[in-house]
Structures are given as structure tokens and as C-alpha cells.
Amino acid sequence: MNKKIFAIFAVFALVLSISAVSAFGLDSLFGGGAKSAENITLGGINFTIPEGFEEIPEMALNGSSNLTEDGQKFTIWSKEFINGTNVIDIAVTSYEGVEIAEDVGDELPGEKKTVKGINGTIYDDGNLKGFQYVKDGKVVLVSCPTDDLLEQVIIN
């Protein structure tokens, strides 16, 4: 199981890396007018995108399937949103034939944290915070620059 947990979070490390690059390079290409807050669903999990954030359609993955290094099939849904230099990245991943219990969150890398009653872990590199948790058998990663944005995006 530890090998699978490692593979699961290797995928999320990649998503978090892409978020960091986007946070510092895309604001001049995308963005613009204010947009109202909206609710979205990714991989069956609900989120709220705060007012003023716009989706970057080129960064979306809508049920893209792939294999981990050890051959485990996974499907990922992700979207990225930008408002000036603030970026929100959301990724939801399911693993074929693997039941991921919500208490697996205790094994995730990072510091334990609870956001809106959801237990998970947080990674903070000084620029972005990545909150990881398990919901409905899927692994969820929300990355953004502040705790306030995490609270706004996550729906329990």
C-alpha cells in the first residue's frame, strides 16, 4: 500500500509544480475582467471558485487516464483559475480498482491540517499551499497562495 500511496502523491507533486510555474508566468497571458463566484464539479467533487478568478481552459484535464510507474491506472480531472498573480489549481484523481479510504489522509505527506471539517495534509513552499485529502474514494489536491482561498474553494 505504501508504494501506491507514493505513486498517488507523485502525481500530485507534478500538479503542484505546474501550479507554481503558472502562478509566476501566466498572469500576463490570461486574466482580465472580474467574474462572479461559481460552483464547479470535478470528478464528482464540488468546489467554489471565488469571485474574480477566471479559468484557464488550456490547463484543464477532463478525465484524462494514465498509468503510474508501477502500472496502476488513474484518471485525473483538473482545472486552473487565475486572478492577477493568484492561482488556484484543483485536481481530483481516482485509481482503478483501488479503494482509497478517507483515513488514508493520515498517511499523506505534509503537515496535518483540517479545512472546513475535512482532514488532510498541507504542503507550503512559501508561495503556494497544497491541501491534500481523500473524499468519496478520490484523492483531492487544492493549491493556492493563502489559507483564506483554501477556505473559500473547499466545500464539505
pLDDT, residue 156, reads: 85
Q: Which range has the top average pLDDT, 22-31, 40-49, 62-71?
A: 40-49
User: Any idea what the Cα angle at residue 88 is, between residues 76 and 60, rounded to 5°?
Assistant: 35
The pLDDT tens digits for 76-92 are: 999 999 999 999 999 99
Instruction: pLDDT band for 8, please (50, 70, 90 cuts).
Output: low
Return mean pLDDT, the chain.
Answer: 81
- Determine what percent of the chain is predicted with pLDDT higher than 70: 76
Average pLDDT score over residue span 4-15: 48
What pLDDT does 106 receive?
A: 63
Range 104-108 contact pairs with CB under 8 angstroms and sequence separation of 24 or more: 104/5, 104/134, 105/132, 105/133, 105/134, 107/2, 107/5, 108/5, 108/9, 108/132, 108/133
Predicted local confidence at residue 148, as pLDDT: 94
**C-alpha to C-alpha distance for 140 and 109, rounded to whole angstroms:** 13
Residue 37 reports pLDDT greater than 50: yes
Using the predicted structure, report yes or no on whether residue 22 has a pLDDT greater than 50: no
Q: Where are the domains of the chain?
A: 2-153
pLDDT tens for 94-137 read 999 887 877 766 667 789 999 999 999 999 988 899 999 999 99
